[in-house]
Structure 1
Amino acid sequence: MSSHTPKNWFKPVAWAALIWNLLGVIAFIMHIMTSPDMISKLPLDQQAAYSNTPLWATIAFAVAVFGGALGCIFLLAKKSLATPTFALSLGAIIMQQYYNFFIIDSVALLGISSVVMPLMVVFIALALIYLSIKGKQQGWLN
């Protein structure tokens, strides 16, 4: 196996990451398709947070999930464009989490459990950036 051939685990990890990011795309689509009737069934404080989400936070959500999915497609295609795409996605994740934690205070709104998923998202985004950089260094990505 040459140094330009990815390790055996590379492709399954890239596919798993793509599935993870596609779940994020589905979550985004569900978010933007949530009807006023569905929002009205939430507690009042959650209704206000949901209804008053600024456009920039929604755009950050879209860039985060679509950027992550596109970065995974670049990984699978063995393209070094994965790294800047993942970096853009991480920047959008940080913007989105700034909104969630510092503007609407999701911990007060939803409880401490609201921290788990955002931490996983950030950790996975960082791991994908690392993987893409390592892939470039090893000659797996061109």
Structure 2
Amino acid sequence: MTTTTGMKRSVGYWIVAVFALVWNLIGVAMWYLQVTMSSERLALMTEPQRQVYEGTPGWLNVAFAVAVFAGVLGGLGLLLKKRWAGTMFLLSLVALLVQMIGAFAATPAWAAYGAAGLVMPAVLVAIALFLLWYANRAKARGWLA
């Protein structure tokens, strides 16, 4: 691996950058599905899932949007070798935490999913933490301009 901005980055760097972008684009797709839920799709949900969806305040969808769109910008920042990638991943992580904590505090998510409902949020937070760490590491190594 190289340590200067003028030199070539490792294959691992590009794999992480592409992963970050694709992962967060999937998040954008999930956000879009959330905010454009049709009555037909809503009818396919179980009653507890429907209660969570219907109990979700608008500000949680805003936090969701900030999390995924900031993550997309972070991924683009890595691909473009920009120092602000870490800032975008930090914003994404903070918005994700607001969304996850808010979902369990403001909706009946705990009643609907219980402790098992914490698995996916934990995975999302772990990935967000990794992307923030990686961007900061790349910045410290001089890979980002």
Q: In the alignment, residue 137 of structure 1 is paired with which amino acid?
A: A
| Percentage identity across paired residues of the two chains | 37
Hey, what does 1:40 align to over in structure 2? Answer: 43
1:39 shift after superposition: 1.9
C-alpha contact (below 8 Å) 1:71/1:86 kept by paired residues: yes
1:80 shift after superposition: 0.6
Hey, what does 2:3 align to over in structure 1? Answer: 3
Q: In the alignment, residue 138 of structure 1 is paired with which amino acid?
A: R
State the TM-score, normalizing by the size of structure 2.
Answer: 0.88
C-alpha contact (below 8 Å) 1:107/1:113 kept by paired residues: no
Please, which moves more after superposition, 35-44 or 76-85?
35-44
Q: Tell me the SS of whatever aligns to 1:9.
A: helix
Aligned length: 142
1:33 shift after superposition: 1.2
Q: In the alignment, residue 55 of structure 1 is paired with which amino acid?
A: G
State the TM-score, normalizing by the size of structure 1.
Answer: 0.90
For the residues of structure 1 that align with 2:51 and 2:111, how far apart are their CA atoms? 14
C-alpha spacing 1:103/1:80, structure 2 compared with 1 (3 Å)? same
Please, which moves more after superposition, 18-27 or 108-117?
108-117
- 1:44-123 superposed matches below 5 A: 44-123=47-126
Structure 2 gap segments, 5+ residues each: none
For the residues of structure 2 that align with 1:138 and 1:105, how far apart are their CA atoms? 44
